[in-house]
Structure 1
Amino acid sequence: MTSAASLPPVRPVSRAELEQVYGADGLLRVPDAELPAVVTDPGARAYLGEVGLIAAPGTMVRLLEPALRALAEECGPQGPAHDWPGLPNDGAGMVVVGHYGSGVFALDGATGEVYALGANRPPTVDGRPAHRSLHSLARCQLAFGGLELTVMVDQMDPDTIDWCRSHLPEFAELHPAFLDDVDEEDVDPEFFAGQPALEDIVAGLAAKLRAVEPGLLDQPVWQDIMHDFEHGY
C-alpha cells in the first residue's frame, strides 16, 4: 500500500476555477451553519462553504438532491455497515456528495476523504478510499473536459448536449449543432479526419485521473466509469 505521504499533493481547486467551467449557477455552496453536524473536518467545511459541489450537467459524478444527506439514507434498514463493511464508524459520519449509476460518492465528515462506494464492492482498495479530499474529487470531475465529453454524446439528452456546447468551447468545436440533426455517415469525412482517436482520448483521460490520485483506476466505481466512457453504457 502506498503511504499518503508518498502521494503527489492534490492541487486545490478554487471557486473561480470551477465557475469558469460550470458557471456560477453550476456550484452548490452550503453556509457553515447549514452543514451537517457530522462534517467536522475543517478542510471539508471550508470547501463546501467557499468552493462548492459541482451541480452541473457536464460531469460524470452527478449531484442529486437533497445534497449532503446521510449515507444511511442510501441503504437498506441494516445501514451502511451492512452494505459496505469496514467503513469508518460504520458509515455513521458520512454524507452523500455525488452519484454515478448505482455508485455513491460519500464524504467522511471526520477526515474529509471521499469514498466511491459500489454495490457489493469493497469501500476501499488497499485500505485507501478513492479521494483524499473534495478537491481531489473536483479535480477528477474537471478531467472530463470538452474533448472527453464528446465521447459521451450518444448517452446525453439534448439539454445536456446544449449545456456542454454553451459551456465548453472544445465540445462546441468538435460537436457543432449541425451534428444533432444528421447521421454520422452523412457527414463529410473531412470533418472527422483531424479529430483525436478514441484510444488516445481514453489514454489521456486515464493519465489525468492518475495524476490526481495514482490508484484511482483500481477503485471499482471508477473502473465502471472508465468502462462506460470507453464502451458506452
Structure 2
Amino acid sequence: MTPDQPDLPNEPVTRAELERVYGADGLVRVAPERVPAAVADPGARAFLTAIGLPTAPGAVVRPDEALLAGAPRLLAEHCAPGKPDEAYPGLPGGGAAMVVLGHYGSGLFVLDGGSGAVHALAPHEDAAVNGRPAHRDLHSLARCLLAFGGRELWLLSDLMDPDTADWCRAHFPEFAELCPVRDEEEDDFFLDEDEEEELRARLPDVDEVLDGLAAALRRIEPGITDQPVWQEVLHNFRHGY
C-alpha cells in the first residue's frame, strides 16, 4: 500500500467517467434555471448542470429528494422551522448559502454555494473539522464515491435489498464474483462444508479492503477520515450496520 499523498489538486471528474460506473440514467443534472441563486461558485454551477451527481443504487451518498426532482433545496428549507446553525454549528454565513445534496445515515451532505466546498454535516458537530470541510468541491465528493468499487460494496452485500445487489452485480464484476445470485429453490442453494470453506478462502480480507479504501479516500481529501460522517461510513462498512 502506498503512503497517503499530500494535499494535491483533484483530477476533475467528467460526466463520461461517472456514466461508465453509474450509467447514463444513474446521474441527475440540474437545469440552469433551477440551480438555487445561492450557488454563486461557477465551478459548482457547472458541475450541477453539466456533470451531475450519482443517483444509482450503488452510490454511497443517497441523493436528496429535491435534487432527484431536479430542484435542489436550501439547507434552511430542510431545517425549517429551525435554523441551520442550530442543528449544525459553525456553518459559513450561518448556512444561508448551503444547498442539500444527499445523506448517509444521520449525515447530511451540503454544498456551500459561495465557495463550492461540500460539507458532511453531523448533527450538533462542527461543520468543519480542523478548519476544513469534508470536500473542497463537488469533484472531490464524486471522486470519493468512485472509490467504492465491487470489493468495497461487497462488504455490505448481506444488508442490501435484492434490487441494489442486482445493480451492483451488473456494474461491478468483482461484486458479481463475490456475491453470485443463488436460487433458493435449487437443490444446491445450501453449500456443504467443503464448498463453504472454498468460498471463504476466495473472499478478500475485510481489513485489507477497508484499509485500502481509507487510504484512497485520504489521497483525495487528506483529512477525510477525521470527519464524523465519513467515520460513520467506514464504521458501517466494517461492521455492517
TM-score normalised per structure 1: 0.92
| Matching residue's letter, 1:82 | E
1:189 matched to 2:197? The reply is yes
1-structure distance, mates of 2:143, 2:191: 32
Q: 8 Å contact 2:89–2:125 — kept in the other structure?
A: no
Match of 1:106 in 2: 110
Q: 1:95 aligns with which of 82, 99, 107?
A: 99
Match of 2:77 in 1: 73
Which ranges in structure 2 are unaligned for 5 or more consecutive residues?
1-5
Match of 1:152 in 2: 156
1:171 matched to 2:175? The reply is yes
2-structure distance, mates of 1:17, 1:149: 19
Worse overlay, 130-139 or 169-178: 169-178
TM-score normalised per structure 2: 0.90
2-structure distance, mates of 1:185, 1:93: 58
Cα gap change, 1:86/1:55 in structure 2, threshold over 3 Å: closer, same or farther?
A: same
Shift of 1:74: 2.6
Match of 2:240 in 1: 232
**Alpha-carbon deviations, 1:141-167, whole Å to 9, x = none?**
111111100000112111100111111
1:39 matched to 2:47? The reply is no
SS at match of 1:110: coil
Q: 8 Å contact 2:106–2:123 — kept in the other structure?
A: yes
Q: 8 Å contact 2:87–2:124 — kept in the other structure?
A: yes
| Matching residue's letter, 2:132 | R
2-structure distance, mates of 1:111, 1:200: 36
Match of 2:3 in 1: none
Which ranges in structure 1 are unaligned for 5 or more consecutive residues?
1-5
1-structure distance, mates of 2:141, 2:28: 15
Match of 2:121 in 1: 117
SS at match of 1:78: coil
**Alpha-carbon deviations, 1:88-129, whole Å to 9, x = none?**
110011111110011100000011100000112111111110
Q: 8 Å contact 2:10–2:140 — kept in the other structure?
A: yes
Identity %: 56
Shift of 1:192: 3.0
**Alpha-carbon deviations, 1:59-112, whole Å to 9, x = none?**
211113111211113325231011112211100111111100111000000111
Worse overlay, 84-93 or 103-112: 84-93
2-structure distance, mates of 1:104, 1:156: 21
| Matching residue's letter, 2:167 | W
| Matching residue's letter, 2:9 | P
Residues matched between the structures, number: 228
2-structure distance, mates of 1:170, 1:159: 17
Worse overlay, 116-125 or 129-138: 116-125
Match of 1:26 in 2: 26
- Say what the alpha-carbon RMSD is for the aligned residues: 1.7
Match of 1:3 in 2: none
| Matching residue's letter, 2:39 | V
Worse overlay, 16-25 or 79-88: 79-88
Cα gap change, 1:193/1:110 in structure 2, threshold over 3 Å: closer, same or farther?
A: same
